[in-house]
Amino acid sequence: MKKAWIALVVFYPLLAACAGTSKPDTDRELRGMGFVVEYKLASGASAKEGVLASTNAGNQLFAAALLTSKGGGTSMYSTGTRMSFPRWVDVTWREGMTANLPDRKTGRYTTGREVGNYRIDVLSRIPREVFDYAKIRGAVRLQFRIKDDGVLFAWDVQISGGGRFYYAMHGGDFPCDPLPHLPHPVCTTGPLEEAPWFNPNWVGGKR
């Protein structure tokens, strides 16, 4: 018994050091960090009624009475909201709705019947370095693409500069959106300053 107690004393600092490099805690370290949410239909998906996305903390991320291929949206949650960064997000949709407004008390659509219900892990999938990069360069962007049989999820860091946004550290279920109408890319899987097409004058500062 004495040997076991000594072993715990010796190894405890090592365990504590490892815990310090673990994934951020949504209710402490990331509370009030601020983030961006973008949602739309995946390519080829049919229109969806009563789309609703809510987090593990019960916060609503986005909602749409009718989501079509030309619809979708972007929401920004600033640091002042003190909103918890989501561990996971539930995305649901319905069919046969007879009212386009959600219930006043619950904020949920209640008419028709639920035909889609998917839980998407968020926090556990995003690498620690994405959060570290966002703290100094921009805001974490969460992207949701709703399919007929599921929901795709991706992330990156949104950076403002030169009258537009750039996106770095992209990862997830789908690649950066192609934007053929632009003269150069605006999204990369690594740090923005390491992209071969990047000009530091676009966002200020130097490499």
Q: Which two tokens stand for residue 13?
A: 């600092």
110 Cβ contact partners less than 8 Å away, ≥ 6 residues apart: 99, 102, 103
CA atoms of 47 and 95, how far apart (whole Å): 10
For residue 79, the model assigns a pLDDT of 67
Half-sphere exposure of 157 (CA within 13 A, CB side): 24
**Residue 32 confidence (pLDDT):** 64
pTM score? 0.82
Count other C-beta atoms under 10 Å from residue 117's C-beta.
Answer: 10
**pLDDT score for 104:** 73
Question: What are the CA-CA distances from residue 25 to residues 13, 32, 55 (Å)?
Answer: 20, 12, 15
- The closest alpha carbon to 157, from 176, 142, 143, 141, belongs to 141
C-alpha distances (whole Å) from 37 to each of 55, 77, 93, 155, 156 are 12, 8, 18, 9, 11
pLDDT for 146-189, tens place per residue?
Answer: 999 999 999 999 999 878 899 999 999 999 998 888 888 999 99
Query: What residues in the chain have per-residue pLDDT under 50?
Result: 1-21, 27, 205-207
